Amino acid sequence: MKADEVLTAHHDVLRGLLRDLAETTADELERREQLRDRLLRELEIHTQIEDELFYPAVVDVSPLLSLAHAEHRQIDDQLATVMRTAPDDPEFVVEVRMLEKTLRHHTMEEEQRMFPQSHALGAERLEELGRQLEDRQRELTRSGGMRLMIRLKRAVLRLV
Amino acid sequence: MTVRAVFERVLRAVERWEVLDAPSYPVEHGVSLTFLLTGRYARPLQDVLHGVWLGHPLHPALVTVPIGSWTTALVLDVLDATGRGGAGARPAARTAVRVGVAGAVASAATGLTDWQHAHDQARRVGLVHAGLNSGALALYTWSLADRARGRAARARVTAATGYAITLGSAWLGGALTYRHGMGTDHAARSYEPRRFTDVAAAADLRDGDPLPVDVDGMPVVLVASGDTVHAVGGRCPHQAGPLGEGWLHRGELVCPWHGSRFDLATGEPTQGPSTAPLPCFDARIRDGRVEVRRRADWRTPTAVTAIQEASR
């Protein structure tokens, strides 16, 4: 798969998780917790593979990197708010919907603007980059360090 | 080479210095993490530092404290060194340096908060500006320690060096505002349209979904909620982000770039980084069409008043 296809597939996972989370009701607290934790993990992995591999690769063909970073920041801040909100809080869904809209804008920006710009790299380079992204994504999913980092982040965000 | 040419050359070099991008994102992550650790106070704290409560950025107002205090200290140091200051000059200089150091720490906090949202060239210039100011702050702190130990001559030299660095760095800070437009109002300000102008079909409005439209080349966002239609400027005052691509959260319009939030009825920012309000428009629906008119908050000689409009 090409780099943009790998990332779009992962965007679908993220959008799906957020949709599922927004559709849960206040009496599915356990499911809310599970989906939220999975979302935290996937978002962390997604940000990392984009920051580490994709953005540096497209730095010469896309002028949108600063915006992408700004949007990651906004997603990160809103994710912190979602982590801080108790799953039985009536505001929980409101904050999840805000995160959903923030993420939807960012993925739209990438899929409709940045990814077409990245095609200037050529099919071969995009295939190679796609392989690297998939490998790194798999690696991070299994990585104990990543799991520890996420657990730490979750604990800190809930604490404050 | 003229002074102007020297500064110009430095500015161009810093703007193109892409090496700075490598440390700049980790620095931002550090700043972001520090704010996140304050939990629910993260946003209010950043809004205070941005100057949302003040109506314009707090940083340029606050930097007058260290620059003013250190200028005072410089004058007192010169008087003291030349023996014309009397007994009071030395302790007074020490107090002035101390006030300047406190002001510089507060200025750094506001500056970093604004810098988080700078892009590309402005981001690089901001980082160098911050680095130079940190150097100056370190020199003044050293000078303060020397003053306490009675090493007056060395304290005066470090302070004077810090002063020169501060002035150079202030030039870069000025470039951030006057060249890069950091902290200035980027919203489209105009008196037009003075009369109600057709912008969209009422059927295109979706409740709670911002609709971007165009009035004579100026972006405007329409938001319908219930029976009312709100119309506000479509360019974020902070850095001209496209508010038409934004969304609503608790009834407020959110900028998709840096998350500023705006009250739809008044245009006022309810959350930074934007410190300026959005321009507002009067909106009405006539014959299935949405019409907007610039809301006149004061009467200009050529403005069309509501009474004139009604009698047309």
* CATH classification at residue B227: 2.102.10.10
Nearest to B25 among A69, A109, A156 (CB): A69
The residue assigned the tokens 């902290």 is: B183
B274 and B127 in a common domain: no
Domain limits at A132? 3-159
Closest listed residue to residue B137, CA positions, set B168, B97, B183: B97
Question: How would residue A141 be classed by pLDDT, with cut points 50, 70 and 90?
Answer: confident
Containing structural domain, residue B112:
3-178
Q: What is the pLDDT of residue B192?
A: 82
A76-89 residue pLDDT tens: 999 999 999 988 88
Same domain, B36 and B167: yes
The answer to whether residue B259 scores a pLDDT higher than 60 is yes
- Taking the Cβ of residue B309 and every Cβ of chain A, the question of whether any pair is shorter than 8 Å is answered with no
pLDDT at B297: 64
For the record, the structure tokens of A40 come out as 């935290």
- The answer to whether residue B81 sits within a structural domain is yes
Question: Closest Cα to residue B283, out of B230, B235, B215?
Answer: B230
Domain shared by B116 and B237, yes or no: no
B242: left (phi over 0), alpha (psi -120 to 50) or beta: beta
The domain total for chain B is 2
Q: What residues of A are in contact with residue B42 (Cβ under 8 Å)?
A: 77, 80
pLDDT band at A154 (very low <50, low <70, confident <90, very high): confident
Residue B122 has what pLDDT?
A: 95
Tell me whether residue B185 is in a domain.
Answer: no
- Whether the per-residue pLDDT at B113 is higher than 70: the answer is yes
> pTM score, two decimals?
0.89
Q: Are residues B73 and B157 in the same domain?
A: yes
Whether B192 is in a domain gets the answer no
Q: State the Cα–Cα distance between residues B61 and B51, nearest whole angstrom.
A: 10
Q: How much is the pLDDT for B304?
A: 56
pLDDT at A27 exceeding the cut of 90? no
Q: Does B99 touch chain A (CB under 8 A)?
A: no
Give the mutation candidate from B36, B43, B117, B127 for the A interface (greatest A CB count, under 10 A): B36
Closest residue in A to B122 (Cα–Cα): A66
The residues of A whose Cβ lies within 8 A of any Cβ of B are 51, 66-67, 69-71, 73-74, 76-78, 80, 84, 94, 97-98, 101-102, 105, 109, 156-157, 160
pLDDT bracket for residue A109 (50, 70, 90): very high
Model pLDDT, residue B39: 85
In this prediction, residue A29 has a pLDDT band, given cuts at 50, 70 and 90, of: confident
Cα–Cα distance between B56 and B52 in angstroms, integer?
A: 7
Say which range, A100-104, B16-20, B75-79, B136-140, has the weakest mean pLDDT: B16-20
Residues B158 and B262 in one domain: no
A73 and B257 within 8 Å at the Cβ level: the answer is no
* B264 lies in some domain: yes
* Helix (H), strand (E) at residue A40: helix A29-49
Mean pLDDT over each residue of chain B, to the nearest integer: 91
Cβ count within 10 A of residue B191? 12
> B311 pLDDT exceeds 70?
no
> Is residue B51 domain-shared with residue B124, that is, in the same domain?
yes
Please give the tally of structural domains in chain A: 1
Q: What is the ipTM of this complex?
A: 0.90
The arithmetic mean of pLDDT across residues A3-16, rounded, is 94
Within a domain: B15: yes
* B106: confidence class by pLDDT, cuts 50, 70, 90: very high
In a domain, B170, yes or no: yes
**Partner-chain residue, chosen from B36, B120, B249, that has the shortest CB–CB distance to A80:** B36
From B114's Cα to the closest Cα of chain A, the distance in A is 13
Do B160 and B261 lie in one domain? The reply is no
> Does B202 reside within a domain?
yes
Whether B153 and B43 map to the same domain: the answer is: yes
- Asked if the model's pLDDT at residue B210 lies above 60, the reply is yes
Give whole-number Cα distances, B156 to A120, B91, B147, B166, in Å.
57, 13, 9, 15
Helix (H) or strand (E) holding B229: strand B228-233
Beta bridge partners of B289: B201, B286
- Residue B228 pairs in a beta bridge with B225
Chain B residues 112-141 within an 8 A CB cutoff of chain A: 116-117, 119-120, 123
Same domain, B243 and B172: no
Burial B109-139 (b: 16+ CB within 10 A, else e): bbbbbbbbbbbebbbbbbbbbbebbeebbeb
Mean pLDDT of A123-150: 90
**Is B254 within 8 Å of A98 when comparing Cβ atoms?**
yes
Q: What is the pairing mode between strands B261-263 and B197-201?
A: unpaired
pLDDT value, residue B308: 57
